[in-house]
Amino acid sequence: ALERTFSIVKPDATKRNLTGKICAMLEDGGLRIIAQKRIQLTLAQAQEFYSVHAERPFYDELCEFMVSEPIVVQVLEGENAILRNREIMGATNPADAEEGTIRKTHALSLGENSIHGSDAPETAAEEIAYFFAGLELVG
């Protein structure tokens, strides 16, 4: 089915000027960018966005990383977009990611892994609503 998912080009990637290369990999993989903006998160926003990880040992490091440089937040649309995007991104840890994936090609480490993608329909809907108004999604 036609689905929407939420994506973030993370600080390690925007800092290295890789936004275009990453968008091209998403598009070449069959996804359409139907909303996009470059923003810099506040610490409070990063903490709220990642609140599901609040008890994890890497939470503080993760939040500080996510505010360290601008990010590009996106809504992606396509057939089975959530799963498709996860395939295009590759495994969370670039050491485990398949050849040709965004994380294998561009990520620096488990934390600095260049891109975020929603893991399920419920989180996709929540994450999209956190960053975009309905009228900003132009499918």
Residues that bind ligand CMP (CB under 6 A): 53, 58, 61-62, 92, 110-111, 113, 116
- For residue 133, the minimal CB distance to ligand CMP (Å) is 23
- For residue 68, the minimal CB distance to ligand CMP (Å) is 13
Contact call for residues 7 and 26 (beta carbons, < 8 A) = yes
Q: Which residue number, 21 or 65, has a Cβ lying nearer to ligand CMP?
A: 65
Contact call for residues 114 and 71 (beta carbons, < 8 A) = no
Q: Which residue number, 38 or 138, has a Cβ lying nearer to ligand CMP?
A: 38
The reply to whether 58 sits in an annotated binding site is yes
List the 71-79 sheet strands across, edge first.
32-39, 71-79, 2-9, 115-117
For the packed helices 19-28 and 81-89, what is the interaxial angle rounded to 10 degrees? 130
Q: Provide the β-strand partners of residue 74.
A: 7, 36
- For residue 35, the minimal CB distance to ligand CMP (Å) is 19
116 a catalytic residue: yes
The reply to whether 86 sits in an annotated binding site is yes
Catalytic entry in 116, 118, 124, 131 = 116
Q: Which residue number, 6 or 132, has a Cβ lying nearer to ligand CMP?
A: 6
Six-digit token pair at 111?
Answer: 């934390």
Residue in 36, 27, 30, 26 with CA at minimum distance from that of residue 89? 26
Catalytic positions, please? 116
Annotated binding-site residues for ATP read: 10, 58, 86, 92, 103, 113
